[in-house]
Structure 1
Amino acid sequence: MTKMIAPVASLLFSVALLLIGHGLQSTIIPLASRILDFGELMIGLGASAYFLGFVMGAIITPHVVVRAGHIRGFAVMVSSMSAAALLHPLVEDAEAWILFRFITGFCISGLYLIIESWLNEFADNSNRGLIMSIYIVVNYAAFTSGQLMATLTPPNGFLLFVVASIIISVAVMPVAMTKAAQPAPIAIVKLELGKVFRTSQAAIISAFIIGMVAGSHLTFAPLYAIDKGYDPLTQAPVFAAMLGLGGMLSQWPLGRFSDRVDRRLVLLMISIVGVISSIGITLLEDVDFIVFLMVGALIGAVTQPAYSLAAAHGYDHASENGYLRMAAGLLVAFGAGSSLGPFLTALLMQNLSPDALFLFPGCLLAFLAFYLWQRILRKDAVGDDQKEDFDMAATSASVGAVVAPELPSEEDRYVVVPDDWEGGETSEDEADSPEAAAEVLSDETVGDDSESEPATKKSFDPVI
């Protein structure tokens, strides 16, 4: 295993640094916004801007890499993200922070995509699951560690923003010094949401609703803990981290379970548990902090893996030639929901009660459960004998790029590879030139598969 990981160790180290800094920044921004009296609405708009930037980054970054190259593109993204972190304490203005959040979302999405193109360069059928699974574990562990760093000092000063900026800046060093071969040009996918939606309505609608829920939780979780009377420094960041930790622990078991039954049924079950736990946490008053954390971890355990299940369901119904397009459609649906969710939640929290953070997502999950129940009654599930093993790499919303269950192939009719591309032997400038861009053709259909005629069920892969 060591020999498999050694070539990508520097890349994984960069990911760890990026996510530590990003996790710290994502946690202190809502806390600092509360101290500056920005109000829930402005905080929600900042979160919506972040997720909008995330989607835009996934779409635009391939073109940036084609123009500037992988290493230079990575350096530009890291520098911009680091600068955005420093600008927050320098410009204490709510409208400016919305812009800074958009820049951060754009950059982190591009950085994910560039890193993943390198990881895929070293992955094949024998080791892809191992490499990408380690990559996802590093994502969760590093982001959670960054969140917990917010307990070191109050967020109303300059220190934590500087620390986040330094950690993010240092992340460029392992990539700049890596001896790893330059990856092939990044595939550029043209979105055809109508075709993707017709292929699997349940997957796209689930991804959109889950995005609304996840975006709201990520934005306001530490503020909710404060509103419940817990300490802003030592307890609020821990509560936010527990949501992610719960999701990390349940990701694999739920995915494997969905390989054995209808994935929509698993989504239905965790949606119901999500509704119950969301109502339950709003009823907690003056309880021990450990109890509060346990309920938060339960909410994270049933909401965080939901995107992975929705994505796996979408891949079940996509033809092999439709994986990339399905991945892109799922990402856009999740991003759109994540952009809308914090804004609506902020309105409700500001005008009704802080409990709207969990009651509104609870209503969304109730609607999702009802919708999935109707789909289960109307559409047959993919047969168990057609299932493959669950793969974390292609179904995690934490992954920034469009990652399909199978690696793009030069023989794939959806991918155009230039004649002068010869694997890893091409120099960076040659590999990243506009003539070397791999472009996914747009005049083909996703496939003849649909939910009414299920294709082979692909195994669950949480690696998003």
Structure 2
Amino acid sequence: MAQMIAPVASLLFSVVLLLLGHGLQMTIVPLASLSLQFEGFMIGLAASAYFVGFVAGAIITPHVVVRAGHIRGFAVMVSSMSAAALLHPLVAEAEAWILFRFITGFCISGLYLIIESWLNEFADNSNRGLIMSVYIVVNYAAFTCGQLMATLTGPESFHLFAIASIIISVAVMPVAMTKAAQPAPIAIVKLDLRKVFKTSQAAIISALVIGMVVGSHISFAPIYAVQKGYDAMTQAPVFAAMLGLGGVISQWPLGRFSDRVDRRLVLMVISILGIFASISITLLDQADFLVFLIVGALIGAATQPAYSLAAAHGYDHASENGYVRMAAGLLVAFGLGSSIGPVVTSVLMQYVDIDALFLFPAVLLAVLVVYLAIRVMHKDAPVAENKDSFDFASTSATLGGVVSPELLNEEDRYVVVPDSWEPSEPEEDDTEEAASVEATDDADPTSADEAVAEDPLETKAKASA
């Protein structure tokens, strides 16, 4: 195992640093917004801007990589994300924070895409599952630890934003110093939402609704804990982390169980559990903090794995050459829901009640249960032989995105293979080794193109917390 992970160790170390800073920032931003007395609607807009930026980053990043390469693209995204983190305490205006959150979402989406395309360069059929599983575990662990770092001092403190910025900045160092060759350019995926919706309505509608639910939870969980009377520094970040931890624990067993039955039924069951858990937490009035955490973890366990099940259901209905198209459609649906949910929730929390953070998602889950029940009655589930086994790496959306379970194929009409970027011209005082490489290229001018053509596009379409 160690030999398989060694080639990507530096990249995974960058992921750890990146997600530590990102998890810290995702927790302190809503708490700092509350301490600065921003209006609830503006807090919601900032949260939605993050998810809008995430979708935009997934679409635009391939063009950035084509122009600048993976290492430069990674450095640009990290630097921009680090600067955005540091700008929050320097410009304490709600309108500015909306822009900063958009930049953060754009950058983290691009970084996910670059990282995964790089990981796939080192992976083959014998170790791809191991590498991607380690990558997913590292993501969850680092992000959760970053959330818990918010307990170090008050959320309004400049120090926490500075720590987040420093950690994110340092994340570029292992990648910048790597000797590994850059992978082929990231392929660009065309969208065909009508085709995707016709392929699996249940998957797209579920992704949309779940995006609204999860987007609201991620954006306002720390604020909810504070409004319920728990300490903003020592308890609110722990509550936010427990929502994610509950989802991590339940995702794999639920996914495996859904391999044996209709995934829509599993979605219905966990949605019903999510409704009861959401209503239960609103009934806790100054309850013991441990009870509060347990109920929060149950909510996360019932809601956060729902996207993975919806994605797996969509892949069950997709044809062999339709996985990429399905992944892109799920990305848009989840991103749209994640952008709408926080805005609506913020208005309800401000003008109705703070418990709207869980009551509104409970209503959404109830609607989803009714819709899925109708679909189950009118459309049969795919037979077991046609179902794909649940893939933890390809269906995990709590990270914020979508990963296609199949390699991109340049012959797929929904995949656009960009031309490889041209390397810079060597200087006159380049080393003898560089001159030798240039001479080799001159002797076989088609070698570079052939290398790109022969290298399978082992990237995946990635979309988010």
TM-score, normalised with respect to structure 2: 0.89
Whether contact under 8 Å (1:58, 1:402) holds in the other structure is no
- Measured in 2, the distance between the counterparts of 1:275 and 1:431 equals 59
Percent identity (aligned):
77
Aligned position for 2:299? 299
Cα 1:437–1:360 shift into 2, 3 Å: farther
Following superposition, the deviation at residue 139 of structure 1 comes to 0.9
Q: Is the 8 A contact 2:185 2:420 kept in 1?
A: no
One-letter amino acid of the counterpart of residue 334, structure 1: F
How far has the Cα of 1:412 moved from its partner?
5.1
Letter in 2 for 1:297: A
C-alpha displacement at 1:54, in angstroms?
0.3
Aligned to 2:219: 219
For residues 34 and 403 of structure 1, do their structure 2 counterparts lie closer, same or farther at Cα, with a shift above 3 Å needed? same
In structure 2, the partner of 1:188 is: 188
* Residues 51 and 339 in structure 1, CA contact (< 8 A), matched pair in contact too: yes
> Paired residue for 1:386?
386
- 2:188·2:416 contact (CA, 8 Å) conserved in 1? no
Task: After TM superposition, list the pairs within 5 Å mapping 1:4-15 onto structure 2.
Answer: 4-15=4-15
Q: Distance in 1 between matches of 2:92 and 2:161?
A: 13
Matched with 2:277 is 277
Greater gyration radius? 2
Structure 1 residue 463: Cα displacement: 11
Task: For 2:114 and 2:418, locate their aligned partners in 1 and report how far apart those are by CA, in whole Å.
Answer: 20
The answer to whether the 8 Å contact 1:251/1:305 transfers is yes
User: Partners in 2 of 1:410 and 1:48 — Cα distance?
Assistant: 34
What is the rounded CA distance, in whole Å, between the counterparts of 1:72 and 1:228 in structure 2? 45
Deviation at 1:157, TM superposition (A): 1.8
CA RMSD of aligned residues (A): 2.5
Give the Å deviation of 1:377: 0.6
Other structure's SS at 2:271 match: helix
In structure 1, what is the Cα distance between the partners aligned to 2:89 and 2:111?
24
- How far the C-alpha of 1:388 sits from its partner, in A, is 3.9
Tell me the distance in 1 between the aligned counterparts of 2:203 and 2:298.
23
Checking the alignment, whether the CA contact within 8 Å between 1:53 and 1:106 is kept in structure 2 is yes
Which residue is 1:452 aligned to? none
C-alpha contact (below 8 Å) 2:66/2:419 kept by paired residues: no
- Whole-Å Cα distance in 1 between the matches of residues 214 and 104 of structure 2? 18
CA spacing shift, 1:388–1:463, aligned 2, 3 Å: farther
Counterpart code for 1:373 = A
Q: Residues 188-230 of structure 1: CA distance to partner in whole angstroms, max 9, x if unpaired?
A: 0111111111110000000000000001000110111111111
Residues 9-408 of structure 1 aligned to structure 2 (within 5 Å): 9-399=9-399, 403-408=403-408
Find the aligned partners of 1:416 and 1:221 in 2 and give their Cα distance: 39
Other structure's SS at 1:321 match = coil
Aligned residues: 435
How far residue 437 of structure 1 moved from its aligned partner, in angstroms, is: 11
Counterpart amino acid of residue 348 in structure 1: L
How far apart, in 2, do the equivalents of 1:366 and 1:57 lie? 32
AA matched with 1:240: A
How far did 1:355 drift?
0.1
Q: Give 1:409 shift.
A: 3.8
Matched position secondary structure for 1:151: helix
CA distance change for structure 1 residues 463 and 9 in 2, over 3 Å: closer, same or farther? farther
Q: Specify the code of the residue in structure 1 equivalent to 2:237.
A: P
> What is the letter of the counterpart of residue 339 of structure 1?
S
**CA spacing shift, 1:108–1:128, aligned 2, 3 Å:** same
- The aligned amino acid for 1:198 is K
Cα distance in 1 between the residues matched to 2:100 and 2:232: 23
The 8 Å contact of residues 70 and 432 in structure 1, kept in 2 or not, is answered as no
CA distance, structure 2, for counterparts of residue 413 and residue 92 of structure 1? 47
Q: Deviations 1:48-70 (Å, cap 9, x if unpaired)?
A: 00000000000000011111111
Q: Which 10-residue stretch deviates more, 108-117 or 384-393? A: 384-393
**1:392 Cα shift?**
1.2
Letter in 2 for 1:269: V
Whole-Å Cα distance in 2 between the matches of residues 420 and 86 of structure 1?
Answer: 34
Letter in 1 for 2:395: T
Partner of 1:441: none
Looking at structure 2, the residues matched to 416 and 60 of structure 1 have their Cα atoms a distance apart, in angstroms, of: 13
Q: Is the 8 A contact 1:10 1:175 kept in 2?
A: yes
For 1:128 and 1:41, how far apart are their aligned partners in 2?
43
Give, as a single letter, the amino acid of the residue that structure 1 aligns with 2:355.
Answer: D
How big is each residue's C-alpha offset from its partner over 1:247-302, in whole Å with a ceiling of 9 and x where there is no partner? 01111001100111111111010000011110010001121100000000000001
Structure 1 CA distance for aligned equivalents of residues 97 and 388 of structure 2: 45
> Which amino acid in structure 2 is aligned with residue 382 of structure 1?
P
Could you tell me how far apart the structure 2 residues matched to 1:284 and 1:165 are? 36
Please report how far the alpha carbon of residue 389 of structure 1 lies from its aligned counterpart in structure 2 after TM superposition: 2.7
CA contact (8 A) 1:395 1:463 kept: no
Q: How far off its partner does 1:375 sit?
A: 0.4
Cα 1:101–1:118 shift into 2, 3 Å: same
Give the distance between the partners of 1:89 and 1:418, measured in 2 at CA.
Answer: 39
Alpha-carbon shift at residue 37 of structure 1 (Å): 0.3
Q: What are structure 1's unaligned runs of at least 5 residues?
A: 439-461
Q: Aligned in 2, Cα 1:419/1:116: closer, same or farther, shift over 3 Å? A: closer
Kindly state the Cα deviation for residue 369 of structure 1 after the two structures are TM-superposed: 0.6
SS in 2 for 1:382: coil
Tell me the alpha carbon deviations over residues 394-423 of structure 1, each in whole angstroms, 9 at most, x when there is no partner: 1111456652111124565654658989xx
For the 8 Å contact 2:188–2:417, the answer to whether it is kept is: no
